[in-house]
A = this chain, B = another copy of it.
Amino acid sequence: MRIAVLGTGMVGQALAGRLDELGHDVAVGTRDPVVTMARTDPDAMGTPAFGEWAAAHPSVRIASMADAVEGTDLVVNATSGAVALAALGEAGADRLAGTVVLDISNPLDFSRGFPPTLFVKDSDSLGEQIQAAFPAAKVVKSLNTLTAALMVNPRQLADGDHSVFVSGNDAEAKALVTDLLRSFGHTDVIDLGDISTCRGTEMLMPLWLRLMGTLGTGMFNIKVVR
């Protein structure tokens, strides 16, 4: 598939790298490709500078948000939640029309320190806000409940014996995302229902963050035992 990955942080690098490895035609979208490529320092999360990553992945194209999404079959939103709507806006509502948008972002608000709170929750969600802002896009929320390394290589942990969720209004779009998740190694993909069901997965973040603190690692996931 032709796939655009928006965002150059840890999640963007993980997704773009794995999709490239699986043989997809991948472009990474960023606000300003020249600035992104010129960065030499790790980001605040300790993710290596994007220029190093790009040098190690010569077949992945680096482009503006708009150029990256042009003519793609799938757009992966791997930006941080606070800038997700702006990034997709730069990509352009017209270019996103009819396209499957896999939204991985969480509405984390770090303005009051750690642990973060959620800037939208409970009676609304970031996934719904994105779907409302881009009504002709086919938004599927998924992968927002686990750490980047496990999103794309779930078999690293317990041979993949854990769960991941999809939420979205379009059945074909969810089927496309589900196939992609299986190609990553996910074995238990649970369809929660329409896009509003991602309120549940976004609100898992507070528990996830405290578990990371307790376990001392992000290399865990939840399994729905039934």
Binding site for B on A (CB under 8 A): 112, 117-118, 121-123, 157-158, 161-162, 165, 190-193, 197, 199-201, 203-204, 206-211, 213-215, 217, 219-226
Q: Are B225 and A161 in contact (CB under 8 A)?
A: yes
Given contacts A117-B123, A197-B210, A221-B224, 13 further A-B contacts (CB under 8 A): A118-B122, A158-B225, A162-B223, A190-B211, A193-B213, A200-B206, A200-B208, A211-B224, A219-B226, A220-B225, A222-B223, A222-B224, A222-B225
Q: CB-CB < 8 A to A118: which residues of B?
A: 122
Which of the residues B112, B122, B209, B225 comes within 8 Å of A221, measured between beta carbons?
Answer: B225
Select from chain B the residue with minimum beta-carbon distance to A194: B210
Q: CB-CB < 8 A to A157: which residues of B?
A: 225-226
Q: CB-CB < 8 A to A197: which residues of B?
A: 210
Q: CB-CB < 8 A to A112: which residues of B?
A: 123
Q: Are A162 and B210 in contact (CB under 8 A)?
A: no
Most buried by B among A158, A161, A193, A199: A199
Shortest CB-to-CB span from A220 to chain B, Å, is 4
Q: Are A192 and B210 in contact (CB under 8 A)?
A: yes
Q: Are A200 and B192 in contact (CB under 8 A)?
A: no
Q: Are A193 and B207 in contact (CB under 8 A)?
A: no
Select from chain B the residue with minimum beta-carbon distance to A116: B122
20 of the cross-chain contacts (CB-CB < 8 Å) are: A112-B123, A117-B123, A121-B203, A122-B206, A162-B225, A190-B214, A197-B210, A200-B206, A200-B207, A200-B211, A203-B204, A203-B206, A203-B207, A204-B207, A219-B226, A220-B224, A220-B225, A222-B225, A223-B223, A223-B225
Shortest CB-to-CB span from A191 to chain B, Å, is 7
Give the CA-CA distance A44 to B155 in the complex, in Å. 43
